[in-house]
Amino acid sequence: MNPVSLPRYECPYRQFKTQHDGVERANGDPLRVRMPKEDWGDGRANGDPLRVRMPKADWGDGCANGDPLRNAMPQADWSGVPSVRLRDTVTGGTVREMTSVQACWNDLGLLVRFACEDSYILSDFTRRDEPLYEQDVVELFIDEEGDGRQYMELEVSPRGIVFDARISNDGSGKPQGIQADTGWDADGLAVKVETPAAGNRAYELFLPAAEFRSPLRKGLKWRVNAYRIDHAPGRDPELQAWSPTGKPWFHVPERFGQFVLGE
């Protein structure tokens, strides 16, 4: 495919706010926020049928399954932030369940939101860096240098479990050419998963500026791709991508689109 056809996204600048004990704190104070208890009941989260019975979860003092979330989850005004839709990873065609992605930034970091139609959930994993990509998940790959050799892989499951790794890619296009350093945990990474309506799920992911090699500034460019793996009963998993790779495989950095930090 001609590189000219790769998509481009201008990521707008937004102020972030966090909420702690009912008081808004501007620009992402590194607070340990107490999250509300969630009672998953009989396995139905707001009417969504779940494949497995979901346990009660007490997020306590900001620890998601034992992972300290060192930054409070920022809030942003998403109105006016452009969105893109994911397409079939192989063909570029339409997908069964729609996914849209928005992103914004400021000096504190990058905030990304996935909005998904989601009528069925397959999500068994409970620990950080388990192979979330074997079940339902949203994913973000960020290649700061743009050469396709080293990039971040960030994943969030419907349970709010995180997979984060630094990837080394030898360019062979083969699975054995991918090395994932799961020993890296993104410092200050925060995630949130909500069910705004039955059959829908929203994921937010905040990556602090300190995890990027260069200070965040207007005009900064990265090679990026956003993905989703969506399961449904009796069907093969659906692979979705912002920039389709042309094959059932996400680690195709020459197909990553371009993110530009804008106004």
Asked if residue 193 has pLDDT above 60, the reply is yes
Please tell me the total number of residues recorded for the chain in this structure. 263
8 A C-beta contact, residue 175 and residue 169:
no
The mean pLDDT value for 215-239 works out to 97
Between residues 108 and 49, the one the model is more confident about: 108
Q: Which long-range contacts (CB under 8 A, 24 or more apart) does 89-94 make?
A: 89/227, 89/239, 89/240, 89/241, 89/244, 89/245, 89/247, 89/248, 89/249, 89/250, 90/239, 90/244, 90/245, 90/246, 90/247, 90/248, 91/244, 92/244
CATH number of the domain encompassing residue 140: 2.60.40.1190
Confidence of residue 197 (pLDDT cuts 50, 70, 90): very high
Structure tokens that stand for 237 in this block: 């998993």
8 A C-beta contact, residue 50 and residue 110:
no
The mean pLDDT value for 171-182 works out to 95
Q: Model-level pTM?
A: 0.82
Which among 163, 162, 16 has a CA at the least distance from the CA of 103?
16
- Please tell me the predicted confidence (pLDDT) of residue 19: 57
Phi/psi at 214 (5° precision) = -120, 145
The mean pLDDT value for 45-73 works out to 41
- Please tell me the predicted confidence (pLDDT) of residue 72: 74
Confidence of residue 159 (pLDDT cuts 50, 70, 90): very high
State the Cα–Cα distance between residues 6 and 2, nearest whole angstrom.
8
Tens digits of residue pLDDT in 73-107 = 999 999 999 999 999 999 999 999 999 999 999 99
Which of 21-30, 68-77, 93-102, 124-133 is predicted with the least confidence, judged by mean pLDDT? 21-30
Our separate counts of H helices and E strands in the chain read 0, 20
Which among 24, 78, 83 has a CA at the least distance from the CA of 242?
83
Report the chain's mean pLDDT, rounded to a whole number.
84
Domain count, the chain: 1
* Rg over CA atoms, the chain: 18
Asked if residue 232 has pLDDT above 50, the reply is yes
Asked if residue 1 has pLDDT above 80, the reply is no
Asked if residue 66 has pLDDT above 80, the reply is no
Bridge partners of 18, per DSSP, are: 25
Confidence of residue 25 (pLDDT cuts 50, 70, 90): very low
State the Cα–Cα distance between residues 224 and 259, nearest whole angstrom.
6
- Domain residues for 148? 3-261
Q: Which long-range contacts (CB under 8 A, 24 or more apart) does 191-197 make?
A: 191/64, 191/69, 191/73, 191/156, 191/160, 191/162, 192/73, 192/160, 193/156, 193/157, 193/158, 193/159, 193/160, 195/45, 195/46, 195/48, 197/46
